[in-house]
Amino acid sequence: MFKTVLKGINKVEESIIIALLGGMTIAAFLQVVGRYTPLPFTSGLEEILRYAFVFVTMLAGAVAVRKKAHQGVDFLVRFIPKKFQVYVNLWCNSISILVSMTLAIIAFRLVVKIQSIQQVTPSLGMPMWLIASAIPIGFALMLFYFAILLAQDVRSLLQKERKES
């Protein structure tokens, strides 16, 4: 059941990223066309592009963690003997969990503060906390995926120890 839920989350993430990238492409095209023709709705397109880029970046970071394509110390791990690599991965994933958790908490507090002062975007008048919410959501997803990677490393370590004994 967990794998089914995880696949559903993955599909939603990737669908949102694809939709945002498609929307960004259309918005960028319309913005360029709007420079040379009098289109009335091009004033907020730059803002839309900027905020969509924030969402795509944070969601893509979480997808990169899920697919183990995130920046890591893989280069150094290759030089360590195989039997110690799992310990380095455990350490790296643990540190990544702490960093992701800290950043998610800080970002969540920022969103709450932005919501309390009722800040809006300059062109579109959207609540700024909606845009800022991409940051804690992204880091929370990264935290979730790092926790899964850590659990997988612990499981493989335990299986390895069972085979040795």
Predicted pLDDT at 150: 92
Predicted pLDDT at 57: 94
Q: Which residues pair with 14 in a beta bridge?
A: none
Predicted pLDDT at 156: 82
One-letter amino acid for residue 140 of the chain: A
| Pairwise CA distance, residues 128 & 134, whole Å | 11
| Pairwise CA distance, residues 153 & 91, whole Å | 10
Please write the tens of the pLDDT for every residue from 92-132: 889 999 999 999 999 999 999 999 999 988 888 889 999 99
Predicted pLDDT at 73: 60
Decide: 30 and 15 in contact? Cβ < 8 Å: no
Distance of alpha carbon 2 from the chain centroid: 20
- What is the pTM (predicted TM-score) of this model? 0.84
In this prediction, the residues of the chain whose per-residue pLDDT falls under 70 are 70-75, 165
Every domain of the chain and the residues it spans: 2-164
The residue whose two tokens read 């990737």 is: 14
1-33 per-residue burial string, b: 16 or more CB within 10 A, e: under 16: eeeeeeeeeeeebeeebeebeeebeebeeebee
